[in-house]
Amino acid sequence: MFPGRHRADTARTYVLRMRTVSSAAMAAAIFLTTFTGAAAHEGRTDHRPASVPVLEQRATLSADHLAEGPPSGAEATPANGRTGPFDGQVIPGFSAMVDNGDGTFWAMPDNGFGNRQNSGDFLLRLYLIAPQWETAEGGAGEIEVLETVSLRDPHHRVPFPVVNEDTEERLLTGNDFDIESVVRQPDGSFWIGEEFGPFLLHVDADGVVLEEPVPLADVREGGSGELRSPQNPYLAAGERPDLGASKGFEAMAASKDGRHLYPVLEGAVVGDDDQRRRWIFEFDAERREYTGRTWAYETDTDANLVGDAFMTKKNRLIILERDDFDGPEAVTKRIYAIDLRRTDDAGHLEKELVVDLLGIANPAGIGAETSPGAYGVDEQFSFPFQSVEVLLQLQDGRLLIGNDNNYPGNDARHPGTPDDTELIVLGQDRIRPGAGADAEVIGHRGASGHRPEHTLAAYQLAAAQCADYIEPDLVPTKDGELVARHENEIGGTTDVEDRPEFADRRTTKTVDGTEYTGWFTEDFTLAELRTLRAEERIPDTRPANTAFDGLYPIPTFEEVVDFARRSRTCDGQPLGIAPELKHPTYFDSIGLSMEEPVVEILEVNDHGDRKDPVVLQSFETANLRELDELTDVRLAQLANCTGAPYDLVAAGDPRTYADLTTRDGLREIASYADVLGACKDLMIPREADGTLGEPTAVIADAHAAGLEVHGWTFRAENTFLPAEYRSSADPAEHGDLIGEIRTFLEAGMDGLFSDHPDLAVAAVDERG
């Protein structure tokens, strides 16, 4: 068993992962004892309780709620059975909130219906709301709207024309500004971050604009002038915008005294060579100018967005990071903690996971009766909205999270019905790891039985299903970048065959002695590969997975490592990674050696010791021997049921996998590796009728040589199961995977690769 790996039953019930702050100082300072107080350090092997987020309060406002005011939505895009205009002012969710400390909040929607052109009849407002929370003890679970403050410019502080230019009040609309973030000053006024400029707006407590909107000065090193979006009213004809549309100040935090504001760009700067970089700026609210201080926050992947930010103490913020998916498609809805004084070697702020909003414990079943049948409302509660945009730390340290429902477009909870505005408050619970499961579960290519393999979605779901490790297969691109694909031929796992611009890349190659025709990663640059989208590899066997075809990009190895090190298993341990280096002899022959870049990426991410949750795998032997000299992380020799390692074949060495798994062969493997990754039939072969036979000596001999034994691959569909565990003649129907795994565990197997981590975990814990 990999060292320091345990699984707690209570955590499995919640189906949670935790990544707590590795710095005790940061953990104490953030005052999220709820989530980080018992800081789980890297490589921790003790059994102190881990903290997990628990749903404590929830309240909703009907998506169709209309506030007083003129009709709105005349140009809104119809969706989910709703077509404008609407007889009043829609409240399309909240993009930012301010805590009044008395149970009420100022809540601010954005510009209305999604863009400048369709939001000219939407009035920019702040609403005073009072949630009537549903808790474990009951409660209405409703949001009451008490007061309205409309943003307006009667003193003509805005120097460019607005929709209501010729009126006395000059009420501001979603055509004028895209307001997204708000903080309150000690004098009661509000600073608002918006995206059309992007500008900072200063309004008084009654919504009156106090001064000219402040543009974003480019105070980055070497920068000059302003950073402007495509909607900036000062953008000259032919001038190239610096930001993408609606990628301005979605998030903004403020120091406790209100002196400094910390607006954060939602997306990357156009042309930035690092498209995962999101700039944080510092603005002096007293001097009305940017201080020149900037920081670089790195998102988990280049398409992710920064939704909100909140300063918990001097220099310390929590950041809401999200993807653009909702419902079951969602992958990233996470809250990270950062310290402005701590950056990594690349200059990015170090970040630690506080909460994964797709896996929240809900032992009281809050919302189950008030939202029957809603996706994600169960004992495992999920906040899977496309636009999760509100993050507050309440005065007692708990977290409040809310959504912008993009009315009427989003339908994460009930497909075909617009999402309500929803607020939740998260508390904490403690879990104590159990005595230790006797086998490790590796999510094979992620949870590939439920999502297209080798996507961040598959890896995220594997972690949610309590896998201890995730397994990315690695192949290189033309420019030497490592990406996660099962094979370098990608015709069956991406939409490349539907891309006419790559039709001429189709070719025939011989890899490890076998001829293949298709498209190969080594013929594409990383930038080209990132334009492709993943597809289910075996759609006839897993038709449900095809619902996710075309959604997810090919992840880089660096992204997978980042995801794992910023994630936690269900019992609070670091999520492990078990990368497999594919076809090393072939790639060496074309000048794309993988061993050095794999080790470099691991070392940059502080993975280089045996205690680290990493196991490098290969079906070949020479590269494992090389890796044994390059790194101290654990190594696994993979052994197929038939054939031989290709490096031995290429060298004229007659040894086969059968030879490698004899008693002497296993002793030789133990001289450079720690684990035997064995094809199932090597451990328990199948009889002629397809049933399992008697165990071989491989497991016992491997143990005698000092090797752990991990079996592959355990899948739930009948076509992959031994005859006695099949449920029917339908090859795609699920059979008794738990029963099959039980048999192999009883034979002494130490760990297993499974496409269905949820079932594998159940089998291990049943025995444990």
pLDDT (tens digit, 9 = 90+) per residue, 298-323?
Answer: 999 999 999 999 999 999 999 999 99
pLDDT band at 607 (very low <50, low <70, confident <90, very high): very high
What's the gap between Cα 312 and its chain centre?
23
- Between CA 392 and CA 400 the distance in angstroms is 5
pLDDT band at 33 (very low <50, low <70, confident <90, very high): very low
CA-CA-CA-CA torsion sign (661, 666, 672, 675): positive
Q: Are 446 and 753 in contact (CB under 8 A)?
A: no
Query: Would you state the structure tokens that stand for residue 651, as one six-digit string?
Result: 């060298």
pLDDT band at 36 (very low <50, low <70, confident <90, very high): very low
**pLDDT (0 to 100) of residue 428:** 85
**pLDDT (0 to 100) of residue 462:** 97
Q: Which residue has the higher pLDDT, 488 or 33?
A: 488
Name the residue among 127, 60, 62, 59 with its Cα closest to residue 408. 62
Answer yes or no: is pLDDT of 98 > 60. yes
Answer yes or no: is pLDDT of 13 > 50. no
- Domains present along the chain, CATH in parentheses: 52-431 (2.115.10), 440-487+542-766 (3.20.20.190)
pLDDT band at 345 (very low <50, low <70, confident <90, very high): confident
User: Over the stretch 210-233, which tens digit does the pLDDT of each residue have?
Assistant: 999 999 999 999 999 999 999 999
pLDDT band at 431 (very low <50, low <70, confident <90, very high): low
- Between CA 394 and CA 56 the distance in angstroms is 13
Q: Are 713 and 721 in contact (CB under 8 A)?
A: no
Percent of the chain with pLDDT over 90: 91
- Between CA 21 and CA 557 the distance in angstroms is 23
Beta bridge partners of 440: 751
Query: Would you state the structure tokens that stand for residue 359, as one six-digit string?
Result: 């896996």
Would residue 292 be called left, alpha or beta, if left means φ above 0 and alpha means ψ between -120 and 50 degrees?
A: left
**pLDDT (0 to 100) of residue 38:** 32
**pTM given for the model:** 0.92
Q: Where are the beta strands (DSSP E) in 357-410?
A: 360-361, 380-381, 387-393, 399-404
Query: Would you state the structure tokens that stand for residue 763, as one six-digit string?
Result: 């089998």
Query: Would you state the structure tokens that stand for residue 142, as one six-digit string?
Result: 């409703």
| Angle, CA of 633, 639 and 645, to the nearest 5° | 95
User: Over the stretch 570-605, which tens digit does the pLDDT of each residue have?
Assistant: 888 899 999 999 999 999 999 999 999 999 999 999
**pLDDT (0 to 100) of residue 45:** 35
pLDDT band at 767 (very low <50, low <70, confident <90, very high): confident
**pLDDT (0 to 100) of residue 51:** 73
- Backbone phi, then psi, for 577, in 5-degree steps? -130, 140
- Between CA 728 and CA 437 the distance in angstroms is 31
- Backbone phi, then psi, for 529, in 5-degree steps? -60, -35
Query: Would you state the structure tokens that stand for residue 620, as one six-digit string?
Result: 């070949």
What's the gap between Cα 139 and its chain centre?
32
Query: Would you state the structure tokens that stand for residue 302, as one six-digit string?
Result: 């280049």
pLDDT band at 11 (very low <50, low <70, confident <90, very high): very low
- Backbone phi, then psi, for 743, in 5-degree steps? -65, -40
Would residue 308 be called left, alpha or beta, if left means φ above 0 and alpha means ψ between -120 and 50 degrees?
A: beta
- Between CA 333 and CA 684 the distance in angstroms is 42
Q: Where are the beta strands (DSSP E) in 405-491?
A: 421-431, 440-444, 469-471, 473-476, 482-484
Reduced to 3 states, what is the DSSP secondary structure of residue 80? coil
Query: Would you state the structure tokens that stand for residue 317, as one six-digit string?
Result: 């913020």
Q: Label residue 396 exposed, middle or buried (CB < 10 Å: 0-12, 13-18, 19+).
A: exposed
Answer yes or no: is pLDDT of 5 > 90. no
Percent of the chain with pLDDT over 70: 92
Answer yes or no: is pLDDT of 23 > 60. no
How crowded is residue 226: how many other Cβ atoms within 10 Å of its Cβ? Answer: 15
User: Over the stretch 435-471, which tens digit does the pLDDT of each residue have?
Assistant: 455 799 999 999 999 999 999 999 999 999 999 999 9
Would residue 723 be called left, alpha or beta, if left means φ above 0 and alpha means ψ between -120 and 50 degrees?
A: alpha
**pLDDT (0 to 100) of residue 572:** 83
Q: Cα torsion at 716, 717, 723, 727 (round to 10°)? A: 90
Q: What integer best gives the mean pLDDT of the chain? A: 93
Identity of the residue numbered 687: E
pLDDT band at 10 (very low <50, low <70, confident <90, very high): very low
- Between CA 384 and CA 386 the distance in angstroms is 7
Answer yes or no: is pLDDT of 1 > 60. no
- Between CA 687 and CA 760 the distance in angstroms is 24
